[in-house]
């Protein structure tokens, strides 16, 4: 077993997720339940504010929103550095470990970034000029410059520990 140099797990800030989820679900659920009430009330079907088809579409929308938010609540960015490679995964969005061999990395830096301006937000983002970013929270990340010209940014809350582990990983390559 390879020696572990660094390990970090990050989750999305749950407070804003709860607020966003509640607003989105209520915005769709209120018309849904109003439609059910008026459908079952003594109003003829033609007088309904919402048709049966509208109820089905609204119900499916609520279900999709709940599934999306459940995925976001479970999402974790996992970063691990052993003495031979850097590994990341983002379950349940990406279960398979993505491995970076030091021989593939031209250079790296710990840098400050602007998630919205540079990548269009948090999560797994790809931009033509900026490369790929896997971020959850904060504004500090490990920027990898690959020998094939690609760039990869990994968000972190443990800046110094990550930098120290990357230094140890990369010095073995020299």
* pLDDT value of position 174: 59
Report the candidate in 33, 18, 26, 142 with the shortest Cα–Cα distance to residue 77.
Answer: 142
pLDDT in tens, 155-168: 999 999 999 999 99
pLDDT in tens, 102-126: 999 999 999 999 999 999 999 999 9
CATH code of the domain containing 29: 2.30.29.30
Report the candidate in 40, 120, 19, 146 with the shortest Cα–Cα distance to residue 133.
Answer: 120
Q: Which residue has the higher pLDDT, 106 or 45?
A: 106
Residue 47 above 60 pLDDT? no
* pLDDT value of position 20: 81
- Number of independent structural domains in the chain: 1
Question: Confidence class of residue 80 from pLDDT cuts 50, 70 and 90?
Answer: very high
Q: Provide the residue range defining the domain that includes 31.
A: 1-174
CA end-to-end distance (rounded Å), the chain: 22
pTM of the model: 0.78
Cβ atoms of 17 and 73 closer than 8 Å = yes
- Of the candidate ranges 25-29, 86-90, 95-99, 146-150, the one whose mean pLDDT is the lowest: 25-29
Residue 44 above 60 pLDDT? no
Q: How far apart are CA 114 and CA 126, in angstroms?
A: 14
């Amino acid at each position: 077993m390879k020696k572990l140099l660094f390990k970090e797990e990050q989750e999305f800030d749950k407070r804003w997720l709860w607020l966003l989820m509640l607003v989105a679900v209520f915005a769709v659920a209120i018309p849904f339940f109003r439609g059910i009430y008026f459908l079952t009330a003594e109003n003829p079907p033609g007088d309904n504010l919402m048709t049966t088809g509208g109820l089905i579409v609204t119900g499916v929308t609520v279900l999709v929103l709940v599934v999306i938010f459940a995925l976001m609540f479970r999402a974790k960015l996992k970063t691990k550095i052993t003495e031979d490679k850097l590994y990341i995964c983002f379950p349940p969005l990406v279960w398979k470990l993505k491995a970076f061999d030091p021989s593939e990395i031209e250079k790296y830096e710990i840098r400050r970034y602007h998630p919205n301006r540079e990548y269009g937000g948090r999560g797994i983002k790809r931009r033509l000029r900026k490369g790929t970013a896997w971020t959850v929270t904060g504004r500090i990340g490990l920027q990898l410059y690959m020998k094939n010209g690609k760039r990869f940014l990994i968000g972190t809350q443990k800046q110094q520990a990550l930098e120290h582990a990357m230094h140890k990983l990369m010095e073995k390559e020299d």
